[in-house]
Chains A and B, each alone.
Chain A
Amino acid sequence: MRRRSFLNGVHDMGGMHGFGPIVREADEPVFHEEWEAHTLALARAMLAGLYFNLDEFRHSMERIEPSYYLRSSYYERWLEGTITLLLEKGVISQQEFQARLDELTERRG
């Protein structure tokens, strides 16, 4: 069966109901956290290096599981899209990524 997400993904938000008021922040910084800036730069660097193209990148975010899509922040989706594509294209492996993450998690304590 064809996946429903091809027809109408959760990312296609135009006209949806029930999200509540638009929340604005006075004097909003460009990045709220350092990891956001690094996420953007990593994705841009991978795009510039042709490890994936812009359409693949957008699609990688549109494929994010709907409930995570709705509760995640903008740069979290950028991050997960980037990781997904780099894994799929074999630029990094799941094993080495997990090993590095475990290492950093342990160091954090």
Chain B
Amino acid sequence: MSSNDIPGPDSETALRVKALESLLLEKGLIETSAIDELIDMFENRLGPWNGAKVVARAWTDPDYKDRLLQNGTAAIAEMGFEAVQGEEMVVVENTAEVHNLVVCTLCSCFPWATLGLPPVWYKSAPFRARAARDPRGVLDEFGTQIGADTELRVWDSNAEVRYMVLPERPVRTEGLNAEALAELVTRDSMIGVSKVASPD
């Protein structure tokens, strides 16, 4: 599924949404302000910049990293990022020996609190199908190299448990503080389809 297949503003689908929203408004079951607030939250307040702060702190604060790997939900809440629907967060660490990859084969479960809404490719049939069967092929497609001896673990998310990858800290970042490190961390590295690149 590519974004070219998403119905446009004049589509039947868009009209169905309008019909539903106007009925629910008329019945007093929703308020326009609440709908706008929800949209603003998903567009502007939830996003991978939150997860990047978590990762950067884990790279610079060993005690925090321990707490994060022990109890992801609590350690992420410590940073002010609460689960949107009460799901448990599990953080898995990438090392030279182990590479972790996150998928949701059944739908598109994603750690909203730290990464926001998933990209279309994460929700697409090719990724959902193949991450489970041929994860090394998926990494290849993303241009990500891991050693032949590196163990590859695939985490299938569900409604109750959401996974996030703690990527490896890149080389040549010794002098950087947490804020500068967070700038380097990408959404894809926290899904595990890519690594964090060293600064230029």
Contacts and interface: CB of A to CB of B under 8 A. Distances in A.
A37 B128 CA distance: 23
Contact of B20 (A55, A58, A92): A92
Interface in B19-65: 19-24, 27, 29-30, 34-36, 38-39, 42-43, 47
B141 A22 contact: yes
A73 B7 contact: yes
B128 to A, nearest CB: 4
B124 interface: yes
Contact residues of B: prevailing secondary structure: helix
A13 B105 contact: yes
Given A14-B105, A22-B141, A40 B5 contact: no
Given A58-B107, A100-B22, A23 B42 contact: no
Interface in A66-84: 70-71, 73-76, 79, 82-83
A99 to B, nearest CB: 9
Given A40-B39, A104-B15, A97 B85 contact: no
Contact of A15 (B1, B7, B129): B129
- Size range of the chain A interface in the assembly: 35 or more
Contact of B10 (A23, A74, A82, A108): A108
A80 B36 CA distance: 21
Contact of A79 (B2, B13, B38): B13
Contacts of A36: 6
A24 B43 contact: no
Most A-side CB within 10 Å, residue of B2, B13, B121: B13
A30 B120 CA distance: 9
Nearest to A28: B119
Interface in A2-23: 11-17, 19-23
Contact residues of A: prevailing secondary structure: helix
Contact of A32 (B6, B15, B116): B6
B95 to A, nearest CB: 25
Most A-side CB within 10 Å, residue of B17, B42, B105: B17
A31 B30 CA distance: 21
Given A19-B125, A108-B15, A55 B159 contact: yes
Contact of B1 (A30, A62, A73): A73
B125 A100 contact: no
B17 A79 contact: yes
B153 interface: no
Given A34-B9, A41-B35, A54-B85, A22 B127 contact: yes
A39 B17 contact: yes
A25 B2 contact: yes
3 closest pairs, A vs B, by CB? A14-B105, A14-B132, A41-B38
